[in-house]
A and B are shown apart, each in its own frame.
Chain A
């Protein structure tokens, strides 16, 4: 992915009522059917696996408590990663659009680009070798590095694409620089920030399947066990759950974009 920093003239106030486009209609359709499809398919696969004839090895992993605990670990990794990404990328993105720090933007974007361009597994393993820690943090910290870029870039673009005349108007009627940032620039950047976060979340869920390499648990463990012991049913459950979780997270992101975006903003 390339770092798009400038989007010229995106928002112009317009008196025209915007009609729902084809894409927004397909988006609405997707928001409605995606979770239903995911829940139905995942439930079907899990029920099939749990109720089929299992040998001793399979029973070891394919039981509800184990699956739930691995799913829980996976979700915890995802939540920790996203919270850290928001906590780091949003303030950093804001700071890098301030006039005093603008010159630093290319530096940080380059670092974030490298983070994303590098293979996630490589980043995780390197971090493990370097730090020696295992478990949740051994996977969360490299994944933050890996998923930082979409949120950072979208925060910056979101703020930069706010019509300059709105900032001029805000300052001109006596709002402080901070007031304009909090009441005008950030709210109008929210849609793009959320879109970035949605991408980051999906990346995080996907790459969290690699957590088992550094003892971080997660659904990757199911896939790994299934592969090593040649238990296809275990692999199926692990893979389907990972995919289902990614789609659900994507769906939640879509819901957030719909409900948290300010009215009247593009």
Chain B
């Protein structure tokens, strides 16, 4: 009986994914979603990948990672170099480029995860920040990719279909990860590292796993971005970009994948839809961060949040 629910769940997830795809695809072929909005939908999908993958380290593992833009940049540049120097048919070259972007970022993610074995919390956050800045600085100094001037004429392979299915894969795989024994191990480290060890969890291994998983998808997102824009500049991948992804993650709820999807969508559309507030974007982000934290974690505001929360029976 239960075996069926597992299968049903899987079928349902795939069904919803396919239905969503067909929905968007038909709106696009009917011209209801024009090419401008198609671009926004693609950006949303890229942001979903970034936000959900950041959520693995920041929300589930519980380590504040401030260098997500660095992984993205690494994936973007390496994949762009690959597809500019190799001439295969696009349907082979592009997936390879995505994979290479992901794998390279994953390798860097592995390197960044090494300090996590000794450090936690604030110090680790600073290390990830330093990592992001190093990546950007190094990119500024690499001649092959044009340094600060930027890297142009990257083949524009990124389509809605590719982006959508990669975002869906990222979401579904993250969800499965969280519900597997590996995912529970990752969450248990956030909750209590010492108790996790005492329960037989190799915490070092799972910390690395979380970072590798997260950076892989950040790299893939970077590769998608590179082949969507056709042009890359190190300045794009600055601390602001990492913070922007963090804001999406925080607004949707740390450790909430569905929330990440929704907030990535909202925070992508909002500045586009309301051009006049675009200048205030970073200011709004700042306020979102502070208010979210206060409302969620400050005892003074606890009552405020309960108004929105449906009453749970377990609290009775």
> Do A and B make up one complex?
no
Query: Interface residues, chain A, CB within 8 Å of chain B?
Result: none
Question: Which of B's residues lie within 8 Å of A, judged by CB?
Answer: none
